Structure 1
């Protein structure tokens, strides 16, 4: 991991910055245990107390999770993602509802603002999703589906909306994985050809309806399979 020896001023903030960069750049992926406190202190040339404070700050922000007796693990790639994960927890319906709010508006904007390059990328990602589904390649399907939805939001060219959506990346991946098995066993087929056609045809209303429609299907299934307890 390319960590550099820190200067002697603002050490905690410097260590926080370097650890955050290692997480956001993918050096430490979500779910991985980071090096020990002693190893980080030696690599960075700081005291273990400095490392401990930095780790505590990142754990408070939701990026790291300290497991007593086991180590410290990467929990999210950004503070926004960490906050969303804390809010959503493991409730699939919560994640799907948040996705619906962001993706419907993202699709509406994409239909109005997409470029030819955006359209080319969306077409390629949807083709990759289809190939993975036909080959029943679970990991490839989850990756292609997740990338397609992010590309739709990016095609709206609203930087704030895109950053908000990036912030729930881990939650989106988890929801796609949780709802993808039926796609691959052909019990359920939820395609995105209509969404792509609406974006290509610059039809914001139809794009929003297509984006909301498939998520509504997933939400109905989730509600029927896991009803929320009565208060």
Structure 2
């Protein structure tokens, strides 16, 4: 699920903003461009998380539950989330093969993954740790607060949609925001599963736990990816 919240995680808009913010950081701090890109992404994801938290709180409290207990319940479910994305990506390749486009689609999936791997591997150790923290902590918290805690709950509570249509729509917005074209179906499936899991548990901690675990598995898979990393 790393593609769902990679080191340069976010939408095409966030990528543009990160690039624009990274340039003055290079000039002001003397950081290398890649390091500035990670720092800019951290700032943007942090802002996204604050926005998500405020929006989540405005919809009112969730049922009382132990946050850490729900977080722990979500961790094992992260394996399901990661498996769903993997299977959907595989089905996309199979479907593309049936219409004669399997090789380009598979190549696009691999290229996107290798670009993320290249960014991680070419960072100095402390910055690699910061990039991993974005993937494993900042992005899961920010994205769950916004897409599940706010968007999904807004569609259910305010728009009065049933859980499944609300999950499908919130998952669509989740997938679009990430801007990884080849992974779009897999990201949609990821958002759908997370939204349904959130609906079942009724606590944002469970969704964050599942997202953290899925991203951890994605990070391990990314680091184990063979071949030469593509330039980012």
Determine if the TM-score, normalized by the shorter chain, exceeds 0.5: no
Structure of larger gyration radius: 1
Tell me: higher relative CO, structure 1 or 2? Use CA pairs within 8 A at least 6 residues apart.
2
TM-score, normalised relative to structure 2: 0.32
TM-score, structure 1 as length reference: 0.33
